[in-house]
Amino acid sequence: MSFTPDFIEEVRSRISLSSIIGKRVKLTKKGRRQTGLCPFHNEKTPSFSVNDDEGYYHCFGCGAGGDAITFLRETEGLDFTEAVTRLAESAGIAIPDQRPVDPVKLQRRKTVMDALSAAAEFYKSQLATHGASAARAYIDDRGLSPDTKADFQIGFAPASGLRTHMQQKGFDEATLLESGLCGRSETNNEIYDYFRNRIMYPICNRQGAVIAFGARAMGDAMPKYLNSKDGPTFAKKAVLYGWQQARERVRRNLPLLIVEGYMDVIAVTQANVAGALAPLGTAMTEQQIALSWKLHDEPILCFDGDKAGQTAAMRAIERILPVLEPGKSVRIAVMPKGQDPDDILRHDGTEAFKAIINTAASLADALWERVAQQFNVDEPTSRAAFFQQLRDMVRTIGHNQTRQAYGDDIEYRIQSLRNSLRTATGTQSLSSPRRIHRPETGARRRLSAMLALLLAYPEKIADIYEELAMVDFGRKGGDTRLEDLKKEMLDIVLQDADLDAEALHHHLQGKGHGQILSELYSDDMIARLGKHPKDMETQKVSLLLGELLARLGR
């Protein structure tokens, strides 16, 4: 039994490879890659690399490599079908009926792909004809270079001629209808060219093959923009325009923008200020959000400054919140009213556009600001409704730790607003807003567990040195002895990185930390960890440390 290529590609596009591997391997961000200790052989220096962009992992030590499916098969002993099923379930994708792949259907899909590729070549050739003068004028007015036009394969669909051309190339009417290149009239049953007198923007998959078209009408024809209908090669909700070009720019460490239209993508790409993607005439879907995160951890959503743009921004926030996960978010940039990225780049230049992008708000800031616009925070009942809506929206976040982090942030902002209102009305106010924390007893247990693990495996300290230094163990755990012990451990390891557990324990005893050390290895702590830290596998220790750091708001 097997799955169709389309289904497998959808599963791969919906799954972050690092989220699968990160359950077994402690990964560290290194540019566009993440690295860690290889799970397939014993090593002390990380040589295992994970690339979410390509959906591929590789170990430079033992040569192991593959995608998410391969990883599950190798680490959990699953067969191919079981691995794909596991990934699909994780991504919330319904499993299709397990039937053998129909070779006839596979051949039909290939024929449709060939037809779309041939049509793209036809449309490109038509852009140079006399009938495309208005289309060329439109394109030239936007300052597109020959290289840009070639890169995006921009073409022109004449009023007629595609059907005849494609039939001469050997494509039958059934293929032209199935590919969406032609339609059938409901009045006289005649077949006609679906795209007519329009500028053509080929839509490509992540491998660069044409899977559909977007088209802009010339003159007053309606609709102004027209996309291919969903078909055997194309599902509008799961595709973003400009993928390959955006990937190349993100690899050069440029930001990633989500814009509204084809020309916005093309203008941003040509200006080399960022990579750019666009949904195809609809609001961003969950699939498209996940797809954009495969290129960049924090893409910037660009919206018009008018009321419609702000409404679209709010809808985007509502769609993104439920699918947030650690390390994945968005920022929100607001364009001047009535202008899109293409307008700004042509009229104001790249520096003006960069200034707008550089001031993009975080998702948390955008959430607060846009919800606040709906309420009068000076009026008590309206203010209460404002707080309630914020809390309700945060509750939609599916990932537990991310939901907790956003909840803490919102409570801090609410407390800040309350304090500022007290000051404005002359009532008693706090000198500074107090960040709301969860019960300290739970935090203290987590901090104690982290120190117990690090004492048993001091070589792990170097892996999370910066994170440890930034966490105030005394404030979070309510016990300054934990912070003192942590600082002492960091100082000792900094002086001697090769210190083993016994030597580290001896040093700390000599520094007067004997009592807290005995508490860390109490029967209660060992029961919570499941076994004594010294008896744990190093891989298990790495996973526990990662989880503890995440829960502490790393």
Give 202-243 pLDDT, tens digit per residue: 999 888 899 999 999 998 888 899 999 998 899 898 899 999
Tell me which DSSP letter residue 272 carries.
T
CA neighbor of 435 nearest in space, from 523, 355, 553: 553
Task: Check residue 478 and give its pLDDT.
Answer: 63
Residue pair 119/126 in contact by the 8 Å Cβ criterion: no
Alpha-helical (H) ranges within 198-256 are 243-250
Number of domains within the chain: 5
Same domain, yes or no: 342 and 295: yes
**The token pair that represents 327 in the structure block:** 């390390």
Contact residues for 200 (Cβ-Cβ < 8 A; gap 6+) = 120, 123, 154, 155, 156, 157, 213, 214, 215
Domain boundary among 348, 368, 388: 368
What CATH number corresponds to the domain at position 318?
A: 3.40.1360.10
* Rounded Cα distance, 69 and 85, in Å: 10
Same domain, yes or no: 470 and 502: yes
> Residue 379: which domain range?
374-425
pLDDT exceeds 60 at position 341: yes
Contact residues for 116 (Cβ-Cβ < 8 A; gap 6+) = 179, 181, 202, 209, 210, 211, 212, 213, 233
Region label for 484, one of left (φ > 0), alpha (ψ between -120 and 50) or beta (otherwise): alpha
Same domain, yes or no: 534 and 479: yes
Relative to beta strand 210-217, strand 300-303 is unpaired
Average pLDDT over residues 431-450: 57
Q: Which range among 1-10, 40-49, 460-469 has the greatest average pLDDT?
A: 40-49
Task: Check residue 83 and give its pLDDT.
Answer: 86
* Rounded Cα distance, 81 and 101, in Å: 13
Q: Is residue 432 part of a domain?
A: no
Average pLDDT over residues 407-425: 84
Same domain, yes or no: 253 and 350: yes
Average pLDDT over residues 470-488: 77
pTM: 0.63
Phi, psi of 199 (to 5 degrees): -70, 135
Average pLDDT over residues 247-270: 92
pLDDT confidence tier of residue 52, bands split at 50, 70 and 90: confident
Same domain, yes or no: 229 and 266: no
Residue pair 228/201 in contact by the 8 Å Cβ criterion: no
Average pLDDT over residues 402-425: 85
Domain boundary among 357, 391, 425: 425
pLDDT tens for each residue of 160-178? 999 999 999 999 999 999 9
Q: Is residue 430 part of a domain?
A: no
pLDDT confidence tier of residue 300, bands split at 50, 70 and 90: very high
Q: Is residue 433 part of a domain?
A: no
Q: Find the angle CA(148)-CA(150)-CA(151) to the nearest 5 degrees.
A: 65
Judged on CB neighbours under 10 Å (0-12, 13-18, 19+), 277 is: buried
Domain boundary among 39, 59, 91: 91
pLDDT confidence tier of residue 437, bands split at 50, 70 and 90: very low
- Report CA Rg, the chain: 28
